[in-house]
A and B are shown apart, each in its own frame.
Chain A
Amino acid sequence: MRTNSLVALWIVTGLAAGLAAAPAAEEAGAFSPAFIAAQQKAIAPAICLLNFTAEVESQRTGETQKRSTRALGLIVSPDGLVMTHGHMQSDKSDPSNIRVVVGEGEEDKEYDGVFLKKPDDINVCFVRIQGEEGERFPCVTFASDGNLGLGEQVLLFGIMGETLDFARGALTRMISAVIEKPRTTYCIDEAIPFGYVGAPVIDSRGRIAGVVGYDLAPTEGGELYVRSGHPLVYQAPLFAKYIQNPPTEDTLEADQPIAWIGVFSQPLTDDLAEYWGLPKKGGVVISTVVEGSPAEAAGIQRGDVITSFDGMPMRAKKNSEIVGFTKLVRETDVGREIPVKILRSGQPVDISIVLTERPVSAKDAEEFVEETFGLTVRALTTDVRILLNLPDETQGVIVRRVKSGSWAHLAGMRPGVIVLRFGEYPVTSIGEFEAAVNKVKEARPAEVPVFCRVGARTGFFRLQPRWE
């Protein structure tokens, strides 16, 4: 149910309110009960429970099923902006039926929530509480720097399980590692319970340094860490801009386009440098040049070593240092001529390259939901071509979902199949697929052979429509 009475203005700040209420922990590693109680009193009102419907995808058919789930939310601005962990959104499916429960026990109030777009560069999501006009909510304020130290004790506030009436709880943990690259990251020493994902992290001075997260976003080198399963602290400066300027379609799309060079690379290790007779100064070794890419157009060759890009020296000797090159490329202006210094067979060569906008990825690819046969298909994007090692001559659309019980399902089609021909009609794009389906629907044949690529092979599936 919808509340319309909560108009109180509670602003909880870790620094202002928190410190006013309680002293800083007296010594490192020992949060006193009084300190914890004072922090809880100040911060717990800003912790809310998010109930929502998520879509879970079936591995077999690619179909999605709805599931009710919940997450911890943290109110980060008095007008009802809630931050939570990035797992609230999966792939392209936004959560729905979001209900935000503010307050505990008999004092709780439930609101509708609206999901805002998920940022690309930090693995958090934002929800806007739909309160009454002018309604103010208790919220937290983060420390401006978010720095933590190795061995520092931290205090986390989270939500207990349903059987414990979602009571607010506290945990102490320690910063077990400080990782410097690709950006400063803090590891938490032990696993944390489910209700603490996204929880505020309070340092020994009573400041809210950040929130509990897991993997980094891909744009910040997330793939290096994504499998660690280790709890981390997302320090406040990473998401501060989104609290000030909450992400919407407009704000995110207004960002400059992501640039693309079209190479895969590896670091110039000292051993590789020795082997090639190059100075052991690091560099970016081009291991693959993508066909049709700006790199290919600029004449970059496999085996070239990039030593300088747009005036910035490239000194990668380790895998983790390649991320710096990746990031630099992404943030480079599209369309500008970029000077690049390379070593080719040991000889310095200066080239210039004009980067293009990154090709559409599968995640953002055009999708077409075809109801009659039960197929949802996507355009074949460059990233999928590389992933599946598809030759250029393979033109088609890739099956994303197969509706259970549909004619496509009965024919044995499944996600990942690439449709090359539908009936008699070649399919090289979403538009052609749609046109082919429409022609078949007009002709209403008793059977429709669909020519497809499945893995490394091609073959036919026979659809047997039962026209009404």
Chain B
Amino acid sequence: MRASMKWLAPLALAAAGCATMGGPGEHAVIRAKNKVIPSLVHIRPVKESFASGQKQEYVVEGSGFIISPDGYVVTNEHVAGDSTQVRCVLFNRDEIDAEVVGTDPYTDIAVLKLKVDEANLPAAELGNSAHIEPGQTVLALGSPHGLSRSISKGIVSVTDRYLGEEGPRPAPYNTWIQTDAAINPGNSGGPLVNLKGEVIGINTRKLSGADNVGFAIPVNAAREVIGAIIEHGHVPRSWIGVRLQEMTSKTDDPSQRGVVVADVDPLGPAAAAGFAPGDVIVAVNGEPVHARFEEDLPLVLKRVADLPIGSPATFSVRRGEETQDIAVVTMEESDYKGEEVEFAEWGFTAADLTPAIVQAARLPSSRGIVIAGVEVGTVAAESGLRQGDIVLSVDGEEIANLAEFQERYDAINDAGKRLVLLDVKRGALTRFELLKLEPGAENGDEAAGEVILDEEDGEEPNGEEPNEDE
């Protein structure tokens, strides 16, 4: 429905006054830059990827900024998440390693702690993103394409852009500051600042294919996430298993208040409590909620997320002409993605299932693991196993999660078994995938697994027929 947004990173700020070089505007820019730039950090994490079927490390470059004298640094989750080490270069060129305190993929925020003893680092001042307005001058500081200490200037284009829950990086809990300050890959995690030198946002994304359409996380949304990460290592949120849509998805009548239930996760608490698509939630625990436009959704979603985890909450729901109260016991929102593990001897990587995967695959339960990648030339690749396959059982025994699979894997390898049978779900079909753990056995030249009938597994949006079944 919307163009795919490609994230990337923020920018840098600058300021400081050389009054002789220009008018008062330039003076303000330089002054703001001078205030914030000592806290700017160039970040080079070593990250892990499992998509190729094996654990691989790679280096990325991003930006961040110091928020406390004892060395807490804020950056993006997509910069520092899944990293094994994080190297930082401060504005004074000091090179200091950092540890990842925690990350929050739902807002794309990560908090690092510099490994320093001193407690007098230059911390940036966080501003108030509720007080910004379109047209005001902003500066983006960071390391575009790895070029550290860079600064670009622009204005706030829109204060509350909604980027939605769709796509590979859903952002349900915040709107975004849209800016035309140049933001490039490498700016990610850097500060967006006002002319007072206060951080008002974290530069995170740009619209690829467009000119100067960048997006920053408002600092007011970030502040609470940063606090939770420092306190808990992650952001605990409540979850009831519904997807919400703005009221204008059903009606433009401004007197109709509430928020529309668009989808109900069949395995979530809301389904158990009797929610149905089309219901309109008008209040949560007696407090009215309303999202007329999509930009209003993050507030409602956050209201639900902020409910006490594991406690009953009362949702007032309008269905047709009637309004009823539905009690739901919230669950903690699951991780954004499951832990990933490499199974090197079998040639693939796998992850725990998440509710999103379970719902998309229409699994009857959340038992199983998902193949994250298959390494070329391995027994897994020869068997026909593919990325996205869901493994339900090993040698006829169901597996609940990655930990159980790991146990089975270790036991089978220790026992020196030659053949291992996986029950696999791929789309609507199930398959038997036989892993041959010893090379050189007979029948080795045939692609034992390629089912003829499901070659066109990829979704065909216009509903063409799948391959014939017999």
**Chain A residues engaging chain B, CB cutoff 8 angstroms:** 57, 59, 62, 91, 218, 221, 223-224, 260-267, 269-272, 274-275, 285, 287-288, 290, 302-303, 317-320, 322-323, 325-326, 329-330, 361-363, 378, 381, 383-391, 398-400, 412, 414-416, 421, 447, 449, 451, 455-462, 464
A345 to chain B, nearest CB (A): 11
Can you spell out 5 A-B residue pairs with CB atoms less than 8 angstroms apart? A263-B469, A384-B464, A415-B462, A447-B250, A460-B245
Chain B stretch 219-237: residues in CB contact (< 8 A) with chain A: none
Which of B443, B449, B462, B464 has most chain A Cβ within 10 Å?
B462
Please indicate the chain A residues that have their CB under 8 angstroms from the CB of B453 in the complex: 264-265, 322
Assess whether A386 is in contact with B470, with CB atoms less than 8 Å apart: no
Q: A323–B451 Cα gap in the complex (Å)?
A: 11
Which of B421, B443, B454 has most chain A Cβ within 10 Å?
B443
Assess whether B1 is in contact with A387, with CB atoms less than 8 Å apart: no
Q: A297–B26 Cα gap in the complex (Å)?
A: 80
Q: Which of B243, B428, B446 contacts A387 (CB 8 A)?
A: B428
Assess whether B436 is in contact with A271, with CB atoms less than 8 Å apart: yes
Assess whether A383 is in contact with B466, with CB atoms less than 8 Å apart: yes
Please indicate the chain A residues that have their CB under 8 angstroms from the CB of B450 in the complex: 319
The answer to whether residues A449 and B250 also contact, given A223-B452, A384-B465, A416-B462 and a CB cut-off of 8 A, is yes
Number of A-B contacts (CB under 8 A): 182
Give the nearest-CB partner of B248 in chain A.
A462
Sample of 17 further A-B pairs with CB below 8 A, known A288-B469, A322-B452: A57-B462, A263-B469, A264-B429, A270-B443, A271-B434, A271-B448, A287-B430, A288-B428, A288-B429, A288-B431, A361-B465, A387-B459, A387-B464, A447-B250, A455-B459, A460-B249, A462-B248
**Chain B residues engaging chain A, CB cutoff 8 angstroms:** 1, 243, 245, 248-252, 260, 262-263, 277-278, 359-362, 419, 421, 427-432, 434, 436, 441-443, 446-456, 459-470
A260 to chain B, nearest CB (A): 8
Q: A221–B260 Cα gap in the complex (Å)?
A: 47
A61 to chain B, nearest CB (A): 10
A326 to chain B, nearest CB (A): 4
Please indicate the chain A residues that have their CB under 8 angstroms from the CB of B250 in the complex: 447, 449, 460, 462
Please indicate the chain A residues that have their CB under 8 angstroms from the CB of B442 in the complex: 270-271
Please indicate the chain A residues that have their CB under 8 angstroms from the CB of B469 in the complex: 260, 262-264, 288, 290, 383, 386
Assess whether B470 is in contact with A329, with CB atoms less than 8 Å apart: yes
Q: A363–B467 Cα gap in the complex (Å)?
A: 12
Q: A218–B470 Cα gap in the complex (Å)?
A: 12
Q: A221–B470 Cα gap in the complex (Å)?
A: 12
The answer to whether residues A389 and B436 also contact, given A224-B452, A383-B465, A398-B463 and a CB cut-off of 8 A, is no
The majority secondary structure among interface residues of chain A is mixed
Assess whether A272 is in contact with B448, with CB atoms less than 8 Å apart: yes
Assess whether B428 is in contact with A385, with CB atoms less than 8 Å apart: yes
The answer to whether residues A456 and B359 also contact, given A266-B449, A412-B1 and a CB cut-off of 8 A, is yes
Q: A265–B461 Cα gap in the complex (Å)?
A: 25
Please indicate the chain A residues that have their CB under 8 angstroms from the CB of B429 in the complex: 264, 287-288, 386
Q: A461–B1 Cα gap in the complex (Å)?
A: 11
Q: Which of B361, B443, B456, B465 contacts A269 (CB 8 A)?
A: B443
The answer to whether residues A275 and B451 also contact, given A287-B431, A460-B245, A460-B260 and a CB cut-off of 8 A, is no
